[in-house]
A and B are shown apart, each in its own frame.
Chain A
Amino acid sequence: MKLKLPNPGLEDRILNHDELERLEVEEAGDRPKWDNKAQYMLTCVGFCVGLGNVWRFPYLCQSHGGGAFMIPFLILLVFEGIPLLHLEFAIGQRLRKGSVGVWRTINPYMLGVGIASMCVSFLVSLYYNTIIAWVMWYFFNSFQEPLPWSQCPINANRTGLVSECERSSPVDYFWYRETLNTSAAIDDMGGLQWWMILCLISAWGVLYVCCIRGIETTGKAVYVTSTLPYVVLTIFLIRGLTLKGSFDGIKFLFTPDLNELANPTTWLDAGAQVFYSFSLAFGGLISFSSYNSVHNNCEQDAVIISIINAFTSIYAATVIYSIIGFRATERFDDCLSGNILTLLNTFDLPEGNITESNYQEVLHSLNSTNSDIISNLNLKTCDLNSFLSEGVEGTGLAFIVFTEAITKMPLSPLWSVLFFVMLFCLGLSSMFGNIEGVLVPLQDLKVFPKSWPKEVISGVTCLVCCLVGLIFVQGSGNYWLALFDSFAGSIPLLIIAFSEMIGVVYVYGIDRFNEDLIFMIGHKPNIFWQATWRVISPLIMLAIFIFYFSTIVTKEIFYIAWDPESENFPTLEKKPYPSWIYVIIFLLAGVPSLSVPGTAVFRAIREYCCKKHPSAPVQEIDSVSSNSKFCSFIHS
């Protein structure tokens, strides 16, 4: 017994199979098309593979039991990621519209899902492009030797190094002071940083050039932006494996700890990572697949793209951790040499007496004879594992840990340029999908007049986003970005994805959907797809949503700030949010989420008001509409 919610008028809103066939054969219609299959695949791969594969997955992998993390990751990939991906591809290909159009077609009350997707895509585009602006800043600064983050600058009267830099490290100082010029708290706006404005303008400029005519131009750009990251990752892998300590890093990453599987946070994080990594619920994938030919094999595409995404995550994790292993070993060696030098100097022993191999025994023997002197020396504890666990995630990984590792390699400017070009390409190809998820709904909602050409619409959108994005180039911009990342890009997406599954399976109807797939790809989707679409994937989405929501609502939320005046400097300080931030959080997470039921309610009220006043205009019979059925009925 299949549950199907009532959905009157669906037949009138969609093109039936014959019409689709005719459209395909005659190549009528003004919808843009992909030049070839490769463009489509590269665009989807580029959208899915983004910065998260490089800086979130390796951290999750290492902190949740290494090799053992693969198990929940792959299981949830199969049961959550692939079904949702196939669903989005199929519905886009069948209904041949962007996200707003698709949901309005399925049921006008579900328009809210499309609007929510558009809002989320817009909010994510704002801060994602700021990250690309940061990447560009580092890229611009990589064309000098020595790299500006390799040494501390000298203070004004040339007596020593700048104090903030001396207390932390050159990479920290370059990131927090010379790049962000970060203020100490989110309330302190800090003013606009002119160099960051220039980088923001260049980021939006590059994006505009690539998106100016929609997929006509992005289709050409993805040949570079989707393939270059793999080339660079391979170069870094070869370079990394020849460095000392890289194998320690890789071993540390993949050493399995099966006890982590019992921890529910591991499964939750794996599910969330699969979900966000696939860029689902943004609406961009639905748009991209709507430009396909109607008989394109979307089932195969979904499986291939999922496999590529998973492979890229694991590959990037290997590369990142080989470099982190090198950095950790360098730090360990420095720490040990520092201790050895201190011992030699204090006891005036000849050089070479204490080496790395006999350090422990010598220390022990000295401790037994002169323990008071030893305790006064404050020798640092050097532990390789603690250096390896310092591998952070997010911007800290790319702009602090990795840049430090690069400064220790010979020919650092070259590696720096390559690394930031790779991050730039990864981010830009994801931005193509985000912008698609904003532009197409705007066109469908008829926000812009029809006479405006595509170039002007994309120009205006990019300009507006750039201006709003100026929030993130202030002194407190980094904290705002973290806020947007945690709230705009998390809860609403889960709600949208859940609504998508319910909408397609129960409102559009799984029977009709199966028939569509038989028409499009030639065979009925097998029991795996049926089970996951109807039951398994929605349940997983619901579980992740409940966990996420409960953790956010119950825990006290705080942010970590760089405060040179705090006691624990250079450790980042945890600060609570001011009370007015909760309004912002509600706007970020609440508005997209509530537009899903809100639009339905709004529409229902409007319908009710129209029914109450029958003087409303009768539906005009449009003689030249696409509803050819109407005319043929009356004429016969």
Chain B
Amino acid sequence: MLAGVLLLIFLPPLVAKDLCKDSQDGFKVRLSIKTGLGDDAYEWNESEMFLFRSTLAYAMRKHSNQDTYTIDNILVCNDTQRVSFVFVVTSTDDPDQLIPKEQVELAVRQNKHRINNAFLLSDMTLEFMGIPPTLSAPIIYDTEPWLIVFGVVIGAVAVGIVALLMSTVSKKRRAKEKAAGLSEEDEGIVKENGTALSSLGRKEGVYNQAFSNDDRFTKL
């Protein structure tokens, strides 16, 4: 009678341990608290383990939409100093039945963000072996930033070219007007036999076609 009672008391934890150790539906978890938090690292103890089991229960609840999961459904074993262990999830209806691996994986993936935040860790420092982290969505820009900078540079270049060409054109036009203006002045002042004093100031004088240019070089 006493043996039977003793057996009844000690059987569940023994069975539980076997469920965890030998199971194929378990996941190994590894935490790297010191790497993740440095000086703010906390100590891993029973309370932290309690938190872990409760977050997993929460994840199972959300995934299956059943409010029946409790902390007793999460079994843990193979606890090491590294801070790594194995856990399994038992079904709410039958404590000897385990939830299949795929279901647990889905539950964890859906709620990884919440689980990470509960422990102030990240996907790198709180690892579930066999569950790859979901990658964040790539940033999609409406206009690529490089096109914007390119547009600015090309705009500045175009403005520069136009400005410089305009200044050349206006300089040429001004020079042409000046030359036209000067030649008008000349026509006004210098006459063929004129004695306007201003004509004496010019070096070349007026070229008189009456005298031929042929004998510039004296023929011998």
Contacts and interface: CB of A to CB of B under 8 A. Distances in A.
Interface of A: 136-137, 139-141, 143-144, 153-154, 158, 160-161, 195, 198-199, 201-202, 205-206, 208-209, 212-213, 217, 341, 344-345, 348-352, 453, 455, 623, 634
A199 B146 CA distance: 10
B146 A143 contact: yes
A205 B161 contact: yes
B150 interface: yes
Contact of A202 (B83, B150, B164, B216): B150
Nearest to A137: B146
B157 interface: yes
Contacts of B146: 137, 140-141, 143, 195
Contacts of B216: 623
Nearest to B32: A351
Contact of B83 (A198, A201, A209, A350): A350
Interface string B14-53: 0000000000000000101111000000000000000000
Nearest to A453: B168
A431 B160 CA distance: 19
B145 to A, nearest CB: 5
Contacts of B153: 136, 140, 202, 206
11 contacts: A140-B149, A143-B148, A144-B145, A153-B138, A202-B153, A205-B157, A209-B160, A212-B161, A345-B82, A349-B82, A350-B83
Contacts of B154: 201-202, 205
Interface residues of B, number: 31
A213 B167 CA distance: 11
A455 B165 contact: yes
Given A351-B33, A634-B217, A344 B161 contact: no
7 tightest Cβ-Cβ pairs between the two chains A and B = A140-B146, A205-B157, A348-B80, A348-B82, A351-B34, A209-B160, A350-B81
A139 B149 contact: yes
Contacts of B149: 139-140, 143
A585 to B, nearest CB: 35
B110 interface: no
B150 A140 contact: yes
Interface string B140-154: 000001111110011
Contacts of A201: 154
A634 B217 CA distance: 8
Contact of A198 (B33, B150, B157): B150
A530 to B, nearest CB: 46
A283 B18 CA distance: 87
B80 A217 contact: no
Contact of A348 (B35, B84, B138, B217): B84
Given A141-B145, A144-B145, A217-B164, 19 more contacts: A139-B149, A140-B147, A140-B153, A141-B146, A143-B149, A153-B138, A158-B137, A160-B135, A195-B146, A209-B157, A213-B164, A345-B82, A348-B82, A349-B82, A351-B34, A351-B82, A351-B83, A455-B164, A634-B217
A217 B167 CA distance: 13
A202 B35 CA distance: 47
A344 B82 contact: yes
Contacts of B132: 160
B168 to A, nearest CB: 6
Contacts of B168: 213, 453, 455
Contacts of B84: 345, 348
Given A140-B146, A143-B145, A345-B30, A154 B138 contact: yes
Interface of B is mostly: helix
B136 to A, nearest CB: 8
Contacts of B160: 209
Contacts, number: 78
Nearest to A353: B81
A453 B135 CA distance: 59
Interface string B113-143: 0000000000000000000100101100000
A479 B161 CA distance: 33
Given A143-B146, A144-B145, A212 B83 contact: no
Contacts of B34: 351-352
A206 B154 CA distance: 8
A161 B32 CA distance: 24
A508 B6 CA distance: 117
Contacts of A195: 146
A182 to B, nearest CB: 19
Contacts of B135: 154, 158, 160-161
B164 A209 contact: yes
A153 B139 CA distance: 10
Contacts of A205: 154, 157-158, 161
Contacts of B150: 140, 198-199, 202
A143 B164 CA distance: 29
A153 B217 CA distance: 85
Contacts of B158: 205
Contacts of A136: 153
Nearest to A459: B161
Interface string B144-185: 011111100110011011001100100000000000000000
Residue of A137, A154, A205, A352 with highest tally of chain B CB at under 10 A: A205
A58 to B, nearest CB: 29
A284 B216 CA distance: 44
Given A143-B146, A154-B135, A348 B165 contact: no
Nearest to A204: B157
A354 to B, nearest CB: 11
A206 B157 contact: yes
A212 B81 contact: no
Contact of B157 (A141, A202, A213, A350): A202
Residue of B84, B150, B217 with highest tally of chain A CB at under 10 A: B150
Interface in B189-220: 216-217
A153 B164 CA distance: 43
A179 B138 CA distance: 19
Contacts of B82: 344-345, 348-351
A161 B160 CA distance: 43
B161 A209 contact: yes
A154 B139 CA distance: 11
A629 to B, nearest CB: 16
A170 to B, nearest CB: 13
A355 B81 CA distance: 16
B166 to A, nearest CB: 11
A453 to B, nearest CB: 7
Nearest to A148: B146
